[in-house]
Amino acid sequence: MRLKNKTALVTAAGQGIGYASALALAAEGAQVWATDVNASLLEKFRGVERVQAVQLDVLDKDAIQKVVAGMPAIDVLFNCAGYVHNGTILQATDEEWNFALNLNVRAQFWAIQAALPRMLKQGGGSVINMASVCSSIKGLPNRFIYGTSKAAVIGLTKSVAADYVADGIRCNAICPGTVDTPSLADRINANADPQAARKAFIARQPMGRLAQAHEIAPLVVFLASDESVFVTGQAYAADGGITI
Ligand code: NAD
Lining residues, ligand 1, CB within 6 Å? 11-12, 14-18, 36-38, 41, 56-59, 80-82, 84, 103, 130, 132, 176, 178-179, 181-184, 213
Gap between the Cα atoms of 27 and 1, Å rounded: 8
Domain 7-179+212-238 has CATH 3.50.50.60: no
Q: Which residues pair with 237 in a beta bridge?
A: 175
- pLDDT tens sequence across 16-37: 999 999 999 999 999 999 999 9
What pLDDT, on a 0 to 100 scale, did the predictor assign at position 167? 98
What pLDDT, on a 0 to 100 scale, did the predictor assign at position 89? 98
Helix 94-101 vs helix 144-164: angle between axes, to the nearest 10 degrees? 30
Of 30, 1, 8, the residue nearest 125 (C-alpha): 8
Nearest CA to ligand 1 atom 23: 16
Show the low-confidence residues of the chain (pLDDT under 50). none
Domain ranges of the chain: 7-179+212-238
Helical (H) or strand (E) element with 125 = strand 125-130
Q: Which of 10, 15, 61, 150, when mutated, tests ligand 1's pocket best, judged by the most ligand atoms within 8 Å of its CB? A: 15
What pLDDT, on a 0 to 100 scale, did the predictor assign at position 210? 98
Q: Which amino acid belongs to residue 23?
A: L
Q: Which of 19, 23, 37, when mutated, tests ligand 1's pocket best, judged by the most ligand atoms within 8 Å of its CB? A: 37
Rg, the chain, Cα only: 17
Residues 6+ apart with CB under 8 A from 66: none
Reported ipTM: the value is 0.99
Kind of pairing, strands 76-79 and 51-55? Answer: unpaired
Q: Which atom of ligand 1 is nearest to the CA of 133?
A: 43
Nearest CA to ligand 1 atom 3: 183
What pLDDT, on a 0 to 100 scale, did the predictor assign at position 65? 98
Gap between the Cα atoms of 109 and 125, Å rounded: 16
Q: What are the phi and psi torsion angles at 134 (to 5°)?
A: -80, 95
Gap between the Cα atoms of 112 and 35, Å rounded: 15
What pLDDT, on a 0 to 100 scale, did the predictor assign at position 125? 98
State whether residue 194 is helix, strand or coil: helix
Gap between the Cα atoms of 124 and 62, Å rounded: 23
Quick check: 7 and 72 in contact, CB under 8 A?
A: yes
- Cβ burial 132-157 (10 Å sphere, 16+ → b, else e): bbbbbbbeeeebbbbbbbbbbbbebb
- pTM of the predicted protein model: 0.99
Q: Which of 179, 188, 198, 202, when mutated, tests ligand 1's pocket best, judged by the most ligand atoms within 8 Å of its CB? A: 179
What pLDDT, on a 0 to 100 scale, did the predictor assign at position 33? 98
Quick check: 35 and 77 in contact, CB under 8 A?
A: no
The fraction of the chain above a pLDDT of 90, given in percent, is 100
CB burial of residue 59 (10 Å; 0-12, 13-18, 19+) = middle
Q: Is the dihedral of CA 137, 58, 17, 96 positive or negative?
A: negative
Question: How many A from CA of 62 to the centre of ligand 1?
Answer: 21
What pLDDT, on a 0 to 100 scale, did the predictor assign at position 203? 94
What pLDDT, on a 0 to 100 scale, did the predictor assign at position 155? 99
